[in-house]
Amino acid sequence: MIINHPILGPRDAQEFVYLGDAALINRPDGMTAGIEAFHDYLYVRDNPAGEHRELWYHEQGDRSWLVVTRNTVTHEIIKVELARDVAKAAGRTK
């Protein structure tokens, strides 16, 4: 597969490490959320046959974490964003 890196352009997926569902961005606050919330955050995932937002890490590249929107059936990649930008837009801070 080829991932169109937002900064570096098309790069071979071999250079990346796959993590999983980009919903991992929405980590609850450990000081306020309880075990239930963390359990759901960590274990309850969608497994769509179709578009899926995923975290990929450009380990053999610029070390950017990316959010890749990919069709899990066709492998078509619809969108690639810097995870940092997505996380900030989702309101994540320090």
Partner 1 sequence: MSQQNRMSGGQIDRSRTLRFTFDGVSYEGHPGDTLASALLANGVRLMGRSFKYHRPRGPLSAGSEEPNAIVELRTGARQEPNTRATVAELFDGLEAKSQNRWPSLAFDALAINDRLNSFFTAGFYYKTFMWPASFWEKVYEPIIRRAAGLGSLTRQEDPDSYDKGFLHCDLLVIGGGPAGLMAALAAGRAGARVILADEDFRFGGRLNAETLTVGGKPGADWAAGVVDELRSMPNVRLMIRTTIIGAFDHGIYGAVERVSDHLAVPAPGKPRQTLWRIYSRRALLAGGATERPIAFENNDRPGIMLAGALRAYANRFGVKVGERVAVFTNNEDGLRTARDLQARGVDVVAVVDARRDGALLPGIRHLKGAEIVDAGGRLGLRSITVRQANGQTETLDVTALGVSGGWNPNVNISSHRRSKPVWNETLQAFVPGEGGPAGLVAAGAAAGLMSTHGALVSGQKGALAALGELGLSGASDTIPEAEDAPVSITPKWYVHSGKGRAWIDPQNDVTVKDVKLAHQENFTSVEHLKRYTTLGMATDQGKTGNVLGLAVMAGLTGQTIPETGTTIYRPPYTPVALGTLAGRSRGKEFKPFRLTPSHKWAEEQGAVFVEVGMWLRTQWLPKPGETHWRQSVDREVLATRKSVGICDVTTLGKIDIQGTDAGAFLDKVYCNTFSTLAVGRCRYGLMLREDGMVFDDGTTARMDETEYVMTTTTANAVTVFRHLEYCRQVLWPEMDVQLISTTEAWAQFSVAGPNARRLLEKLVDQDISDAAFPYMAAGNITIGGLRARLFRISFSGELAYEIAVPTRYGDALLRRMLEAGREFDAIVYGTEALGVMRVEKGHVAGNELNGQSTALNMGLGKMVSRKKDSIGMVLSQREGMNDPEGYRLVGVKPVDKTATLTAGSHFLEIGAAPVIANDGGWLTSKVYSPHLGCEIALGYLKAGDRKIGQRMRAVNLLAKTETEVDIVSPHFFDPEGERLRG
Partner 2 sequence: MAEPLHALTALGHAAPKTVTIGAVSIIERFDVALASLAIRKGREAEVRALAAKAGLPLPDPARFAAGPSFSAFWVAPDMWFVEADHSTHEDIAGALKPLFGDAASITEQTDAWVRFDLRAEDLQGLLERLSNVDFARAADGFASRTVIEHIGCYLIRHGAGSVTLYGPRSSAASLLHALEVTAHSIA
Tell me which of partner 1, partner 2, none is bound by residue 61, counting a contact when its beta carbon lies within the kind-specific cut-off of 5 to 8 angstroms: partner 2
The long-range contacts involving 39-45, CB below 8 angstroms and separated by at least 24 positions, are 45/20, 45/21
Q: Which helix (H) or strand (E) holds 41?
A: helix 35-43
Q: For partner 2, what does the binding mask look like between residues 42 and 61, x meaning CB under 8 A?
A: -----------------xxx
Tell me which of partner 1, partner 2, none is bound by residue 46, counting a contact when its beta carbon lies within the kind-specific cut-off of 5 to 8 angstroms: none
Q: Which of positions 8-27 make contact with partner 2 (CB under 8 A)?
A: 8, 12, 14-15
Task: Using DSSP, state whether 81 is helix, strand or coil.
Answer: strand
